[in-house]
């Protein structure tokens, strides 16, 4: 095997050391362990001298001797199995070799993701994949597979997947592959811990706290005060807002159920995300009690009220809505899952003017800010209400008699028990890009979208779904193939136009050249919904998309 | 810098190629793109010849020429920033170098995790970390940090964290660091996609489907029929079960809210997980309507019923409970978040006998099966009910006019919109270990627990919390320090004993030698709750724990 070496020690030139430090290895100076006794147990060797040896070896690695321990060696994975990896005896070497082999697969994938000469996807129907593509067998078996086969499985998994970081993948609000975020996720999974207590996630818990405070400051709440959590996605974040609002107005619902409250109604825009309706169904309001308001506005928001208050009409800025909420004593939640990112831009944040008057905000860094999935925050202006709403005081997790300040334990605020560490990648990206880096990212994505809008707004064969320039990076449009141009408006044209986007999309996917979403909405037949959140996208990718739509759609 | 090379091509000896295959790069044979035109756009070069060149180069790499492209080079990260990484022009080289540097940090961490001469944690109080430990600054700033600093941040994050995979970390039901699972998570984050549609997660969606079916077969449902999803943890999985049960009995609640149903009551064991109560509060039942039943049993389960049916007493096997549920037409959910893993063991699965009669089951592979966090499944016997319960038919995601079978889109079954890919690591572990490997893992963990139980049951200074041999790997016990031995039972002894476990735990954490959980329960004062789910744990680690408790607790 022709693979080369990775040295286990860190670089000398960077002056940063990842060696095992002596102070990590010996008991610290706490009075409870001043005998350093724990290190001498259950070992026939003299641990102390062994460790001094290890430290010396580590120091030697620092001197750039290309220690053999981390040399990438020719490894025959066909005779190795999971059971040969750590914690197996002598498992360290195969573990490192296996992980490096995986990393090679992943770095190759990363390279290809940004390479426009590769496809966005290699589409196959479910039955094709289930039948086993070129030996890629998805079935699980009783007996273990060799690590060689596991590596093949990893390659095949990526081969038949979709490159969501490809500069020509426009299919979802979440796209792109941020390298710092990726590194953050790799570290997160290596740390493999849980956000519920400071005890087992001290650093991550503090990072979450500081980041949420920063986000609240950016929203505009005084001193960044308030509360919040990262949750497993915008739908759950929106659900939190409804729960907290319900608790604020009718705390007895927590104990006695919905029967303790009068009829409760949620108001939201007809263009709001379906998760608001879902929250209504889940939480026992019933989806009939989620009232959809007609609006020109594409912001997502909802009111919460106990009365049968109805309100139709066109809304504009959040400030107008906030006025109404104040007047009628309504909870105002702003669903900024997608839009929240604009707060990072001095140029665009005025579009969310008034957000500081909201009682709660959903904001998903995994969308417009390019953070890897999942990363969604629910932010609440009133401190302590998440705890009040969700606390169940589970003794086995949240002991009040711990030696540290248990206010840092977050588990009792959440509806989850275990909670994945979603903060680290975001925190690391913020460190690496700075607030200014996020601002540039947002401004750039909106500039690219503006380019698309200007390119097609008067182009033959295109019609815009909404009037005026988009306020975000969404550009919604119909492509009118030559066969429909000049056809009078009416049911026949509508029916035909409805089938255009799906046909073009299907061809795109078969070709694997690009991907863009489409949807109907209300009385509007299927249109393309183009979104830009990937900082790899250039104007030439927009040109490519338009050329591709026209190439594929010409004869539709 | 003394770092060595990683070759971009795969090993020759293994016969596995990760090169860019020619067929990946050219248009496939689908009629829509037989002109291969998409590759020729927006490029001044002749793409086809360029790619043939790339292919040749890749083939050359296969011949083991140690291509320079992937040589680990001396890199000065102090002058590099996130903006220099991909998609930046010439960003490929720094990207690969940066990721390899991160991997070095991570593989060092992995090695140390399994090294008993290292500490489980290096404890600091929140205020200490917030003040900045040795320059580790958690605050976010406006300007970007260099990649060198980012690498330091990564090292520091791990340094001040907790090694949940350490063989002496017993603090949580989730512990261990499975190398295959870790590789799976690294791949998952590199793929960075979303489970809601087959369109953007074809392979993962099918893996989820096949794995859930396998789990249902293991539960014992005929042909493995039924439904299911991976959710963000056991609490959410349990919440799904309550929602589905409610929908089964009172589908109108989805539309009209809880007021459309009579008073609904959940029955559960007094020892059940607090997430059942939480689900009651969240979903609008009210936690008063979660009735806790006295029971000898440590299984977690609940009934669901529309009547005001009350039932107290001691339960034993699931079969007896299933009889009652059948008699009174109750929904039976088995919360096997922790216990479900025992189904993999021919020796221990009888403890869950009757589970095949449940209507729904929660089963968290991230607990007893050692899968990295998060990996929790909700399994439902009735097919289609998840969809019925949760569907909102969002047009922008779940278009019925897609070119593939949209039954594979899972998003409308979930209460989430986006859903993290939790399946891959689990699927990969199953491939790598086989069903038999999981069985060995379970049997081994229970054997270690039995060793602990036998060691302390008659040992001076220990009292067991429950009578009899534990049925799972939990061993709950009090350590009675010499000062309390011989003291008559009574309030004074109880109060003193209550403080023993927290004191010992605090010292353990200060020392960083080991971690084990403690809790009170009902009228039982704080006791240690020892659990084993990490396959790195040996009997010597149990000996170490006991020695450590005695060392630290001797003078308490």
Q: What part of A 295-354 touches B (C-beta under 8 Å)? A: none
The whole-angstrom distance between A101's CA and the closest CA on chain B is: 8
The predicted-structure confidence for A378-411, as pLDDT tens digits, reads as follows 999 999 999 999 998 766 667 788 999 999 999 9
3-class DSSP assignment, residue A261: coil
Taking only the tens place, the pLDDT of each residue in A217-252 is 999 999 999 999 999 999 999 999 999 999 999 999
Closest CB from B12, B257, B510 relative to A286: B257
What's the half-sphere exposure (Cβ side, CA atoms, 13 Å) at A74? 7
Q: Which residues of B touch A65 (CB under 8 A)?
A: 2
Residue B39 has pLDDT above 90, yes or no: no
By C-alpha distance, which of B49, B54, B18, B55 is closest to B36? B49
Residue with the bigger pLDDT between A72 and B1: it is A72
A28 touches B: beta carbon within 8 Å? yes
In angstroms, rounded to a whole number, what is the distance separating the alpha carbons of residues A253 and A240? Answer: 15
B193-423 under CATH 2.50.20.10, yes or no: no
- The residue behind tokens 């992980």 is A99
Q: For residue A30, what pLDDT band results from cuts at 50, 70 and 90?
A: very low
Compute the distance between CA of residue B361 and CA of residue B336 in angstroms, rounded to an integer: 6
| In chain A, domain spans | 1-71, 194-420, 436-553
User: In chain B, which residues have their Cβ closer than 8 Å to the Cβ of A33?
Assistant: 507, 510-511, 513
Q: Which fold has domain A436-553?
A: 3.90.1150
String of b and e for B361-386 (b: at least 16 CB within 10 Å)? bbbbbbbbbbbbbbbbbbbbbeeebb
Q: Which member of A13, A106, A192 has the closest CB to residue B187?
A: A106
Tell me the shortest Cα–Cα distance from B328 to chain A, in angstroms. Answer: 23
Question: Which has more pLDDT, A492 or A303?
Answer: A492
CA quadruple B235, B239, B245, B248: dihedral positive or negative? negative
For residue B409, give the nearest of B121, B195, B182 by alpha carbon: B195
What distances in angstroms separate CA B110 from CA A314, B113, B152, B158, one per listed residue? Answer: 57, 5, 17, 11
Q: How confident is the model at residue B142 (pLDDT cuts 50, 70, 90)?
A: very high
For the record, the structure tokens of A523 come out as 């009385």
- The reported pLDDT for the residue numbered B294 is 73
Note the Cα B127 to chain centre separation in Å. 29
Confidence check: pLDDT of B306 > 60 = no
**Residues with Cβ within 8 Å of residue B88, at least 6 apart in sequence:** none
The b/e string for A100-113 (b: 16+ C-beta within 10 A; e otherwise) is bbbbbbbbbbbbbb
Strands B265-269, B290-293: pairing kind: parallel
Between CA B197 and CA A385 the distance in angstroms is 35
Distance, in angstroms, between B314 CA and closest chain A CA? 22
Kindly list the residues from chain B whose CB atom is less than 8 angstroms away from the CB atom of residue A16.
148, 151-152, 155
Neighbours of B265 (CB within 10 A): 22
Interval B120-149 mean pLDDT: 96
Does B105 reach chain A within 8 Å, measured CB to CB? yes
Residues 393-432 of A with CB under 8 A from B: 393-397, 399, 401-405, 408, 415-420, 424, 427-432
Residues in chain B closer than 8 A to A234 (CB atoms): 417-418
- Whether domain A194-420 has CATH 3.40.640.10: the reply is yes
Contact at CB, B162 and A201, closer than 8 angstroms: yes
Coil, strand or helix at A175: coil
Question: Who among B4, B95, B408 is closest to A110 (CB)?
Answer: B95
CB A441 within 8 A of CB A429: no
Q: How confident is the model at residue B295, as a pLDDT?
A: 62
Nearest-Cα residue of chain B relative to residue A253:
B286
Is B462 in contact with B478 (CB distance < 8 Å)?
A: yes
Distance CA B88, CA A434 (A): 17
Q: Among A242-246, A368-372, B67-71, whose mean pLDDT is lowest?
A: B67-71
Q: Which residues of A touch B117 (CB under 8 A)?
A: 25, 39, 43, 47, 50-51, 54
Cis check: omega of the bond before B87, within 30 degrees of 0: yes
Interface touch A191/B547, C-beta < 8 Å? no
Which position has the higher pLDDT, A27 or B534?
A: B534
Of B4, B191, B424, the CB nearest to A5: B4
Q: What is the pLDDT of residue A21?
A: 35
| CA-wise closest residue to A20 among A8, A6, A35, A12 | A8
Mean pLDDT, chain A, rounded, equals 85
Helices (H) and strands (E) in chain A, counts: 15, 12
Beta bridge partners of B462: B479
Contact B259 A255 (CB under 8 A): no
Q: How many CA atoms lie within 13 A of A121 on its CB side?
A: 28
Do residues A64 and B2 make contact, with C-beta atoms less than 8 angstroms apart?
yes
CA distances from A64 to A68, A466, B2, B147, B191 (A): 11, 62, 5, 21, 34
Is B418 close to A392, i.e. CB distance below 8 A? Answer: no
B189 and A CB contact within 8 Å: yes
Q: What kind and span of H or E run contains B506?
A: helix B491-511
Phi-psi region of B313 (alpha: psi -120 to 50; beta: other; left: phi over 0): left
Q: Answer yes or no: is pLDDT of B344 > 50.
A: yes
> What DSSP state is assigned to residue A58?
H
pLDDT at B71: 60
A227-241, B198-212, B399-413: range with lowest mean pLDDT: B399-413
User: Is the distance from CB of A336 to CB of A368 less than 8 angstroms?
Assistant: no
Give contacts of B224 with chain A, Cβ < 8 Å: none
Q: Count other Cβ atoms within 10 Å, centred on residue B62.
A: 17
Alpha carbon of A353: minimum distance to chain B alpha carbons (Å): 22
Torsion sign, CA atoms B122, B125, B128, B131: positive
With beta carbons less than 8 A apart as the criterion, state whether A340 and A364 touch.
Answer: yes
Computed over every residue of chain B, the mean pLDDT equals: 85
Question: What is the reported pLDDT for B151?
Answer: 98
- Residues in B closer than 8 angstroms to A280, CB to CB, are 257
Q: What does the pLDDT read at residue A312?
A: 29
From the CA of A275, how many Å to the nearest CA of chain B? 7
Q: CB under 8 Å to A163, separation ≥6 — which residues?
A: A109, A112, A113, A118, A119, A120, A121, A169
Contacts of B517 in chain A (CB under 8 A): 396
Query: How far apart are alpha carbons B175 and B166 in whole angstroms?
Result: 8
Contacts of B429 in chain A (CB under 8 A): 82
Those of residues 489-548 in B touching chain A at CB distance below 8 A are 499, 502, 505-507, 509-515, 517-521, 526, 529, 535-536, 540-541, 543-544, 547-548
How far is Cα of residue A149 from the mean position of the Cα atoms in its chain?
30
Strand B227-231, strand B265-269: pairing = unpaired
């Amino acid at each position: 095997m022709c693979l080369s070496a990775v040295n286990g020690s860190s670089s000398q030139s960077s002056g940063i050391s990842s060696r095992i430090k002596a102070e990590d290895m010996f008991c610290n100076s706490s009075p409870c362990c001043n005998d350093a006794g724990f290190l001498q147990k259950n070992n026939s060797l003299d641990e102390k001298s062994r460790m001094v040896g290890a430290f010396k070896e580590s120091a030697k690695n620092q001197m750039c001797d290309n220690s053999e321990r981390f040399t990438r060696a020719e490894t025959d994975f066909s005779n190795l199995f999971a059971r040969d990896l750590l914690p197996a005896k002598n498992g360290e070497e195969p573990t490192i070799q296996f992980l490096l082999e995986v990393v090679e697969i992943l770095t190759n994938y990363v390279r290809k993701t940004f390479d426009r000469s590769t496809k966005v996807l290699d589409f196959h129907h479910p039955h094709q994949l289930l039948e086993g593509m070129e030996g890629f067998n998805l079935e699980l078996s009783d007996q273990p597979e060799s690590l060689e086969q596991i590596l093949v499985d990893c390659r095949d998994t990526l081969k038949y997947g979709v490159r969501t970081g490809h500069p020509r993948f426009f299919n979802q609000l979440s796209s792109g592959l941020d390298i710092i975020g990726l590194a953050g996720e790799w570290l997160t999974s290596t740390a493999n811990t849980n956000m519920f207590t400071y005890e087992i996630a001290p650093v991550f818990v503090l990072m979450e706290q500081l980041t949420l405070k920063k986000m609240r400051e950016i929203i505009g709440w005084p001193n960044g005060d308030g509360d919040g959590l990262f949750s497993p996605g915008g739908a759950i974040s929106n659900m939190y807002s409804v729960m907290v609002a319900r608790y604020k107005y009718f705390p007895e619902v927590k104990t006695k159920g919905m029967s303790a409250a009068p009829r409760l109604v949620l108001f939201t825009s007809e263009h709001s995300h379906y998760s608001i309706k879902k929250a209504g169904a889940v939480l026992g309001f019933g989806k009939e009690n989620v009232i959809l308001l007609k609006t020109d506005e594409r912001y997502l928001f909802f009111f919460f009220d106990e009365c049968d208050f109805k309100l139709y009409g066109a809304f504009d800025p959040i400030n107008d809505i906030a006025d109404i909420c104040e007047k009628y004593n309504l909870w105002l939640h702003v669903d900024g899952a997608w839009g929240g990112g604009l707060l990072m831009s001095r140029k665009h944040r005025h579009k969310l003017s008034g957000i500081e008057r909201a009682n709660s905000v959903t904001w998903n860094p995994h969308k417009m800010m390019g953070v890897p999935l999942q990363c969604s925050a629910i932010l609440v202006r009133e401190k302590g209400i998440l705890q009040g709403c969700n606390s169940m005081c589970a003794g086995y997790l949240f002991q009040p008699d711990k030696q540290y300040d248990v206010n840092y334990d977050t588990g009792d605020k959440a509806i989850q028990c275990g909670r994945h560490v979603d903060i680290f990648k975001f925190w690391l990206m913020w460190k690496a890009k700075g607030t200014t880096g996020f601002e540039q990212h947002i401004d750039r994505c909106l500039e690219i979208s503006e380019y698309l809008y200007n390119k097609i707004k008067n182009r033959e064969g295109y019609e815009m779904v909404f009037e005026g320039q988009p306020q975000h990076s969404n550009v919604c449009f119909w492509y009118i193939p030559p066969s429909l141009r000049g056809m009078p408006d009416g049911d026949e044209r509508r029916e035909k136009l409805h089938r255009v986007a799906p046909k073009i999309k299907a061809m795109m996917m078969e070709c694997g050249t690009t991907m863009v979403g489409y949807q109907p909405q209300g009385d509007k037949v299927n249109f393309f919904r183009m979104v830009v959140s990937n900082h790899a996208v250039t104007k030439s990718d927009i040109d490519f998309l338009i050329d591709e739509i026209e190439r594929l759609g010409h004869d539709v």
